[in-house]
Amino acid sequence: MKQSELFTKTKKEYAKDETSINAKLLIKAGYINKLMAGVYTFLPMGLRVLNKVENIIREEMDKIGGQEVLMPALQPKENWLKTGRWEGLDILFKTGEKAREYAMGPTHEEVVTPLAGEYLMSYKDMPMYIYQIQSKFRNEPRAKAGLLRGREFRMKDFYSFHTDDKDFEEYYEKVAKAYETIWKRLGIGDETFRVKASGGSFSKYSDEYQTICETGEDLLFKGNKEIYNREIAPSKAPEFKQDDTEGKMEEVKGEGIIGVEKLAKFLKIAVEATTKTILFENEKGEVIAGAVRGDYEINELKLTEVSQSEELKLASEEVVKKITGAEVGYAGILNLPKNVKLFMDDSMQGRVNFETGANKTDYHTINVNFSRDMEEPKEFYDIKVAKEGDLDPETGKAYETMKAIEVGNIFPLKSKFADDFGLKYTDEKGKLHSVVMGCYGMGSSRVMGALVEVFHDDKGMIWPENVAPFKYHLINLSADAKVKKQAEDLYNRLMEKGEEVLYDDRGEASPGEKLKDADLIGLPYRLVVSDKTQGKVEVKKRDSKELDIKEMDDI
């Protein structure tokens, strides 16, 4: 491609409404164009990168038996009603009129499962593996991270179908190895790790692939054996040291105080001496109370597990008032009705003179002490959201924490969607069984954004060679006809050899502009022909400061 003929041009300034590194650089360099929040056009160079990323993914999915299909993005409401996700999935884009509504596919379980039912009937038909690479739609409330969190984005979703858990588990690990190969080919193999994450309603755990990056949204906790996503990281609170002289328990009026920091300041105590108590309801209608030290948040996933519930939802204002006699925000652990199941986090263990809601609007109880004021629980639990400084319960040592970007996941679906759609197979004896499913996702456009977040400097992007839109950026810095011909000859010779070359032949751009644009665009190799090179070529790798002068034939 000759740069003078390229559809796009670089911009002088960064987009003012973008905060993420990937969006700023990709827009400025002419890889993508923003249509609206979370929605981007892939321009010629950007599409070349996206296609290369997707082709690497495609090749590795084919190697493990995947068969590529292309499913519709427009999906019938009826399928989503069957799975209970029409109302339950808050990022679902809905379109059409009330008489006929549709979902804009954020994922494809509601399509692929009935599709499989058309062809998988016997144990002889399985295992089977199908995938697609397609545009998805999610009504993200925070579409402010460029390609990392889009409302329309590209994704590879792969589904496997099995007769039993053993076959599924073996294939699950096969996919995991394929993912590791993909990360290596993309250039992020050393930075990307398999991380334990929530399995949602399908299983206790799933696996995410997270790329370590200082600008990442996710916080990872590296333990003795596993790396955990923050949402499930088991943690123990560091000890909070305080004066153990017991004070007098009393109620203090504190009207309209919002947040534990303001409450602690008002009461003249440490934030760690405050308590957060939140009421939930489970699927049985039972009221579950969770309590943590004030500097923590309650982790609903952990509380769901320890309370042996299937799901939890915040208790309504009416339920809170009925249980505590107070408005929301003043619930406490003292004198709760016996039908309320109370679970206290281990961060509350060993505390003295702590605060808790008084179960009375506008009031807080201070100087509460176990044994004297209430029976100390026989067991404390880990129901908190982990934070930096927390201890690994297994070793008692502080976790190493890392910021990261999620670039893929592998997920056990078990028989959830198979049962919703009646997807069953007959075994050797003619008996019917539910099909076991697995799901394996990878956002190709998100991966492209992650590559920019990882591989860049203050001048621009530094593309790994396997995904760069062009391998060489050939630049002519001279107005001399002889030098121009040398550059043209080199361009033509490289093209004849099948090399990918972006040739900056622009006559109106100054040498400084050309070199600055080359750094911004970030191709692996810069080839400069100028008056100074005297018939030779100056070669520089984008990620190196070293310059080398080579003969034309050596290039």
pLDDT digit string, tens, across residues 11-31: 999 999 999 999 999 999 999
Average pLDDT score over residue span 469-485: 96
Length of the chain: 555
Task: List pLDDT tens digits, range 39-85.
Answer: 999 999 999 999 999 999 999 999 999 999 999 999 999 999 999 99
Task: List pLDDT tens digits, range 175-188.
Answer: 999 999 999 999 99
Is the pLDDT confidence value at 219 over 90?
Answer: yes
Task: List pLDDT tens digits, range 225-257.
Answer: 899 999 999 999 999 988 888 999 999 999 889
Is the pLDDT confidence value at 200 over 90?
Answer: no
Task: List pLDDT tens digits, range 261-272.
Answer: 999 999 999 999
- pLDDT band at residue 99, thresholds of 50, 70 and 90? confident
Residue with tokens 């491609």: 1
E-state strands within 178-236: 192-198, 205-212, 218-222, 227-229
Q: Which residues contact 360 (CB under 8 A, 6 or more apart)?
A: 251, 324, 325, 326, 330
For the chain, list the domains and their CATH numbers. 49-71+115-234+402-453 (3.30.930.10), 250-368 (3.90.960.10), 472-550 (3.40.50.800)
Angle (CA) 227 21 404, round 5°: 0
Residue with tokens 């679970």: 343
Phi, psi of 313 (to 5 degrees): -135, 150
Is the pLDDT confidence value at 203 over 80?
Answer: no
Average pLDDT score over residue span 341-349: 96
In percent, the amount of the chain with pLDDT more than 70 equals 100
Average pLDDT score over residue span 141-155: 93
Q: Quote the distance between the C-alpha of residue 66 and its chain's center.
A: 24
Q: 444-454 and 44-63 are packed helices; what angle lies between their axes, rounded to 10 degrees?
A: 110
Q: Is 166 left (phi over 0), alpha (psi -120 to 50) or beta?
A: alpha
Whether residue 53 contacts residue 463, with contact meaning beta carbons closer than 8 Å, is answered with: no
Query: In 3D, which of 435, 421, 438, 446 has the Cα closest to residue 156?
Result: 446
Is the peptide bond preceding residue 114 cis, with omega within 30 degrees of 0?
Answer: no
Is the pLDDT confidence value at 213 over 90?
Answer: yes
d(CA 412, CA 313): 24
**Structure tokens of 166?**
């053993």
Secondary structure (DSSP) of 196-212: EEE-TTT-SEEEEEEEE
d(CA 42, CA 500): 19
d(CA 17, CA 29): 16
* pTM given for the model: 0.91
* 3-class secondary-structure state, position 125: helix
Q: Are strands 354-357 and 363-368 parallel, antiparallel or unpaired?
A: antiparallel
d(CA 352, CA 380): 16
Query: In 3D, which of 363, 300, 57, 6 has the Cα closest to residue 182?
Result: 57
Task: List pLDDT tens digits, range 306-340.
Answer: 999 988 999 999 999 999 999 999 999 999 999 99
Is the pLDDT confidence value at 202 over 80?
Answer: no
Query: In 3D, which of 91, 85, 88 has the Cα closest to residue 109?
Result: 85
Whether residue 280 contacts residue 355, with contact meaning beta carbons closer than 8 Å, is answered with: no
Residue with tokens 């990056």: 213
**Structure tokens of 414?**
């078990």
Q: Are strands 472-476 and 501-504 parallel, antiparallel or unpaired?
A: parallel
Whether residue 524 contacts residue 542, with contact meaning beta carbons closer than 8 Å, is answered with: yes
Query: In 3D, which of 186, 210, 147 has the Cα closest to residue 409?
Result: 210
Is the pLDDT confidence value at 6 over 70?
Answer: yes
- pLDDT band at residue 201, thresholds of 50, 70 and 90? low
Secondary structure (DSSP) of 334-391: TT--TTSEEEEBGGGTT--SEEEE-SSTTEEEEEE-BTTTBPPPS--B--B---TTPB
Residue with tokens 């702590």: 354
